[in-house]
Every structure is written in structure tokens, then in C-alpha cells.
Amino acid sequence: MQKQSVKFILIIIIGVVMLGIFKNLFGQKDNTELKEVLADNAYLVDVRTPSEFASGSVKGAVNIPLDKISGQVSKFKGKKNIVVFCRSGNRSSQAKSILEKNGFKNVVNGGTWQNVNSLISNN
């Protein structure tokens, strides 16, 4: 009987984890904070590679690839709000963490460049 209880609990845990993964992959992203900082002239930073950036990005964005962020933190000083973005949201999440470890508290992960672009285009 105890083995069945453990199996049941494991199945529930796995189900909850899978639900969270699917929600993150397919759920609607809450862009409320992002919309607010974009409306307030945020510093837009595309953290993709230069070739990815050259293939299309957000108007007014600067390109500081993820692997260069740590060495270029001075470019972020004095910025009221910073929005980082990339192709999938993964590199921008890493960039946000790097900036926060360097003392920046005003960083928003915009996710994909298309997400940021669509929000700017709709304003």
C-alpha cells in the first residue's frame, strides 16, 4: 500500500511540473510591466549575436551580445529602465541576471525581440 502512495505522489508531482512547463511554453505572457517601461522610453538591448541582430530587431535597440554584457556594464549606467530581449527569451533571462548581479534593479526581460517589437508597434 505504501508503494502505491509513493507512486501516486510522484505522478502528482510530475503532473504539476509538466503543467508548469506547458504553461510557460504555451501560456500567455503578462506584458504589463514591459508595456509600462516601453512607454517610458526604456533602453532597448538586443542580446543576440551581431548577425542575428542584423537580420532584424526592434527599432532603436542597441546590440550588446550576451557574451559581452559583463564587459559593457558601463553602457547601462544611468538608464532609467532597461529591456533586454533575444530570440527565445533564454539569453535575455541570462542577461537580466548578469545585470542584476552588477547592481541594476531596473531590468525587464522582454522575452523575444518579436514580442518587444509588437508592443512598440501597437503603441
**What is the spatial distance between Cα 39 and Cα 122, in angstroms, rounded to a whole number?**
11
Average pLDDT along the chain: 89
Residues noted as catalytic: 86
Kindly state the average pLDDT of the residues 6-29: 65
Condensed to tens digits (0 to 9), the pLDDT of residues 77-95 reads 999 999 999 999 999 999 9
The CATH superfamily of 31-122 is Rhodanese-like domain (3.40.250.10)
Condensed to tens digits (0 to 9), the pLDDT of residues 37-52 reads 999 999 999 999 999 9
Q: 3-class DSSP state for residue 28?
A: coil
Sorted by where each begins, the domain ranges of the chain are 31-122
- Whether residue 22 is predicted with pLDDT greater than 80 in this model: the reply is no
Compute the Cα dihedral for 55, 60, 63, 66 and give only its sign. negative
pLDDT category at 27 given cuts 50, 70, 90 is very low
Condensed to tens digits (0 to 9), the pLDDT of residues 99-121 reads 999 999 999 999 999 999 999 98
